[in-house]
Homo-oligomer: A and B are copies of this chain.
Amino acid sequence: MERTESNLNSCLPRIRSSFNDLTKTEQKTATYILENPSEVIHMTITELAEAAKNAEATVFRLCKKLGFSGYQELKIALAGDLYTPLESVYKEVSPSDSIKSMMNKIFFGINEGLQDTLKIVDEEAIEKAIQAITATRRIDVYASGGSAIIASDIEHRFMRFGISVRAYSDPHLQIASATLLQPGDLVIAVSHTGANRDVLDAVTMAKSNHVTTIAITSYIRSPLSQIADIALHGMGREINYRSEAMASRLVHLAIVDVLYIGSLLRQQDKIIENMNKVRKSIAKRKI
């Protein structure tokens, strides 16, 4: 999926999110920028190239790859980043931390992930996703491993709309469901890495059936983002303690919230009726 040029408002999160897709020399430059952002905003492309020990052309290609129109745009975005208070303090959790301190760091990391997501969000893609959701009668959700709970959440949430929503974490069921989909149906695929083979296969199958596909991943240039019709990214900077894609799943859930509320607002009348029904039934089970 291609990116729009309209929302280029942040540089560092973008670099982090795309880092693995960069070439070796590009990574050298990217690292230099990540480590010396406040120097870079005063440097010419020639100076940066020299500092990062490669050619101007490489720096320029990096700019393009990150979605900027050129070096100037990157610098402008970087300057904006530098006044983010969040950029500053990020620490690793250590065994000697108090409970309070540990919680502080974990919660702060989550919030950072949310903030970064806000910066790199492709509003147009969110808009398209919401439109796709409000237009469909059936949603199949594919995910596995840690992302399976995101899929369950999507199932649980959108079910209230009265749409048929089903989450599949089993690869065979994913393919089976994808095979049976028809134009007008919708697939949402969730994967932290965006490189899960089973999910990719299922999405490919769905696409061959002319089904609209939405991807939710943490990496902009992941294979899943590439093949999906609509790609959404949560920038989940991770707490560095044996992180198991921790913050990212919270960020992905937050994106689900956005899709949910967005869809709700788009088709209030139809849905609110259903939701009230559901809420009343549930209330009976409560003391």
By a beta-carbon cutoff of 8 Å, the part of chain A in contact with chain B is 1, 3-4, 8-9, 41-44, 47, 72-73, 75-77, 79-86, 93-95, 97-100, 102-104, 106-107, 110-111, 114-115, 117-118, 121, 123, 126-127, 145-146, 148-149, 152-153, 156-157, 160, 193, 195-198, 200, 223, 239, 241-242, 244, 246, 249-250, 253-254, 257-258, 260-262, 264-266, 268-269, 272, 275, 279, 282, 285-287
Q: How many copies of this chain does one complex carry?
A: 2
A73 adjacent to B261 (CB under 8 Å): no
Sample (26) of A-B pairs whose CB atoms are under 8 Å apart: A1-B43, A3-B42, A9-B83, A42-B76, A79-B83, A80-B80, A80-B83, A99-B127, A100-B118, A102-B261, A103-B118, A107-B117, A107-B118, A148-B152, A149-B149, A149-B152, A149-B156, A152-B152, A195-B286, A198-B285, A200-B287, A239-B257, A241-B261, A242-B272, A242-B275, A250-B253
Measured in the bound complex, the distance between the Cα atoms of B201 and A170 in whole Å is: 32
A123 adjacent to B98 (CB under 8 Å): yes
B242 adjacent to A246 (CB under 8 Å): no
Contacts of A198 in B (CB 8 A): 285
